[in-house]
Chain A
Amino acid sequence: MKNINVKVNGIAVSVPEGSTALEAARAAGVEIPTLCFLKGINEIGACRICVVEASDARGLVASCVYPVKEGTEITTNSERLIKSRKTTLELILSDHNKECLTCIRSTNCELQKLCREYGVENQERFAGEMNKYDIDQSAAHMYRDNEKCILCRRCTAACEKMQSVSVIGANDRGFDTHIASPFELPLGSVACVSCGQCITVCPTGALSERDDTQKVIDAIIDPEKLVIVQTAPAVRVGLGEEFGYPLGTIVTGKLITALRRLGFDKVFDTNFSADLTIIEEAAELLGRYTKKENLPLITSCSPGWINFAEFYYPEFIPNISSCKSPQGMFGAVAKTYYAEKMGVDPKDIFVVSIMPCTAKKFEAERAGHSAVPGLPDVDAVLTVRELARMIKKSGILFNQLPDGEYDAPFGLGSGAGTIFGATGGVAEAALRTAVFNITGKNAEKLEFTEVRGTQGIKEATYDVAGNVIRVAVASGLSNARKLLDMVKSGEKEYDFIEIMACPGGCVNGGGQPIQPASVRNVTDIRTERAAGLYKDDLNLPVRLSHENPDIKRLYEEYFECPNSHKAHEILHTGFIERDKY
């Protein structure tokens, strides 16, 4: 692409044609504050924080969407601009619930940070009528407090553009504008898939996960309860960010120690049940592939995707693997096999999941086939953010913790389980085991790199001893929609499809630490976090689900063989079409 020459605050810089003033500034080493801008997702120029002066424009322009041309001169920090931005902040504050001291996003709020940087001393300068809203607590996974909403529309853009779900949007107009669902229905009454992407892009405390920490603390202090905890693959690569570690840092050892110090009786690894999922799912795939029945098989690990399918693509329900998700399998095994083994009444076992996901909260509560009738497989789900808050509240100096090890018998997870946390990981893990199942020996090269990476849709075809397996991987529900539409129209045919609701998979889940737009817009957090997981996979002694000794023992002692009757009773479930309204 052709480069053009522009000047930012007098600094000459050459940028690709089509660059925005914001990009040009960054190239010149100049930061322009933004609030509504999310690269590729929300480019609407609405908040007006990023206004700059441009030599080829009459008034002030929003740098996030203003294309520079050859010779354009941009000024980003004149007194006039700084005053403008400050006024914008003061106006936002004039209709903002300013309970910053107690706000869940205090110190991690983009509005708060800008107010501090721009020296807003008088937050009442434009005091006037304020909008009053009730907090929407109707959904299983999150709260919406519109009194803290700054109408940046990042949540609606995430919902619409990333996820093609569009259950939220702007209602009313002018000063009364607010984000809500159609007809003011509460979020719990619309076809929201609970992915939580809206929360992770929210710059303020308007959106937050439902806080279940007290429920967990109550269980921990209950002497009758055996409280066991599982940690999902992507948690180990996300949690560190809450404690200042760089993106992509694996903190498994400290995570385990922290959980133990919080009082959990046993600390287990969801990687273990991810391996179990692979064993079951690979067997299911082979069965269907041989019979050419209900193909493509579509993965069921992502509860956001399951919700999406049940609401929007019910015709694909027969294709979805009947396997419970790794979270569900873990809970099911804990309350059956583990309870028997330990001689504990399953009623006294309290299963907590630490998840990078908000939809897992919904999944844990959905009516379905629990392993022990009347008891949920999982009792409480905490997102990475909630866990971090618990750790901080308990005075645990996370960074100084010694590394711990998972407890037996569910403490061993393979590298295949670890990579579940990145898009393509489930497919890769399944392929590793499928090759073994078909050929009786392991693939020479365990890395199926074709299905790695953050592209929305990936395809690959593998010839396993003459069996051609056509694989597709989609992450982000708008990509899933595209892929499924192609399958539906007959344009594409596959044998196996992995779908993750969140773009990039669980590493970018709705329950992961919140990275501000200033990071998101310049760093691909999905790639960074996924790289951590792939590194973890490489370093693990066992990299194949079927070689996990804990899994082998589980089948020997309990389930006999994959897809056995007992396995079906305990590890599998079913899905149903749900009404959108």
Chain B
Amino acid sequence: MAMRIEATNVTAYYGGFKAIENITLTVEPKTVTALIGPSGCGKSTFLRSINRMHEVLPGARVDGRLTIDGQDIYDRDVDVTAVRRMIGMVFQRPNPFPTMSIFENVVAGLRLNGVRKKSILEEAAERALRSANLWDEVKDRLDKPGAGLSGGQQQRLCIARTIAVEPQVVLMDEPCSALDPISTLAIEDLMFKLKDRYTIIIVTHNMQQAARVSDKTAFFSIERTGDPGRLIEYDDTQKIFSNPSEKKTEDYITGRFG
């Protein structure tokens, strides 16, 4: 249930603006990779180009090569919805569907895949909610609106929704930035648990979080505003936070920059 992601010279644009340039890195299966760096350095753009969500914005496009287990996800013949089913995504702000119940939120992806049978849906919903450490809190009110949960619960609901379709890779775009420390901890615990089954890539502004949860860390940065973001250093998290090879990385993680 996990696959290797290889990015080669990935460059992404918003219209005429080049947001990231020549990003090359490999993410191993069943690891947590953290993308860190100052605001506007293109971490989220890179993350969104991994499941082809970048191109949703008008005028946005991606150059270069991105493969998952060797298959080019930007191949002309590839069905973009299949890519997104394989590579799930959790967003910065919890975004459950406001008109759906908790249950419907969790099974939304399964319904897209044409699963109709109630028993299968119920089973999958329970499994996903248990994996997301949310089952005990919501099992008695599955028919209540998902938007009625607290922020941390909503984010775990979104994680449940993402993993309910059993993707290969889970992308997380600053999943804890809108949450309080306790909810953050709950989600970090969850990441450790999910690591056994999924490849996880997480964008975070919180360096302690990156150090706590990730196996590998990629540091992105920009020279100055308007320049494209570049990958400065990509290594084991332990090395990045103890003995980085690049001066820029060291400056950033010690707080002298960004």
Say if A and B assemble together: no
A-contacting residues of B (Cβ < 8 Å)?
A: none
B-contacting residues of A (Cβ < 8 Å)?
A: none
